[in-house]
Amino acid sequence: MKIISYNVNGIRAALKKGFLDWLATVSPDVVCLQEIKANEDQLDLSLFEEAGYTYNYWYSAQKKGYSGVAILSKSKPDAVVFGTGIEHMDFEGRNIRADFGDLSIMSLYLPSGTNIQRLDHKLMYMADFQEYIKELQKTNPNLIILGDYNICHEAIDIHNPVGLKNTSGFLPVEREWIGDFIGSGFIDSFREFNSEPDNYTWWSYRANARNNNKGWRLDYAMVADPLKDRLKRSVILAEAKHSDHCPILIEIDS
């Protein structure tokens, strides 16, 4: 099974930049999207169906043009779960899960901490999300949580670790949380295959950051420990340019 995760920074904008043509070329089985910034009724769903994704599920924020996640699939999932049941998490449309056989595939969009209020919200979200996952692991041990975590874990994951050490996305408390999250039973799948620096998934639109590869690795495919032997590949697809993020891809035996 080939799975892609992509923060598209607005699905309608990405469509105008050739997203569906690119998707047809890569042809994943399942696509996890973040920051769709659209409601389902604002989209022509036939475009996705014609591209082979007959089954598409959209979970939008209550605030129009903001946040939101989705899962597109070529085959029908056994179950789809919208949100977490935690109100302060769900009104922003940040979590959707689809189950395929013994695999549970989740699209996640963690908040950013752009100011002190949003940082407090992000930290609360992170704590509650970890508790939610802890309970979910009891019934769904084969979890794959893909998406934009809005955190760089290690110095290798950010282009300027010294200069950005006090910036949200690379704060000690955030880095500690993602380390603890991995330690709770997950594999950072990209680092399972690649230990090299200069591999990023997000670049600012400012100062020609992408061309200079001054980026951050904010997007992860976290794979539950029991799936380690089934994990075949995990890569960053930096050549795709429909967003300020780029997609990530994993392949796993289904």
Strand ranges inside the chain, DSSP E? 2-7, 30-34, 55-59, 69-73, 79-82, 95-100, 103-109, 143-148, 186-188, 202-203, 215-216, 219-224, 231-236, 248-252
Residue 244, phi then psi, degrees to nearest 5: -80, -15
Secondary structure class of 132 (helix, strand, coil): helix
DSSP string of 61-72?
Answer: -SSTTS--EEEE
- Please say if 148 is a catalytic residue: yes
Provide the total of helices (H) and of strands (E) in the chain, helices listed first: 7, 14
Q: Could you give the CA distance from residue 146 to residue 190 in angstroms, rounded to a whole number?
A: 11
| Active-site annotation holder among 90, 102, 128, 148 | 148
List residues with catalytic annotation: 148
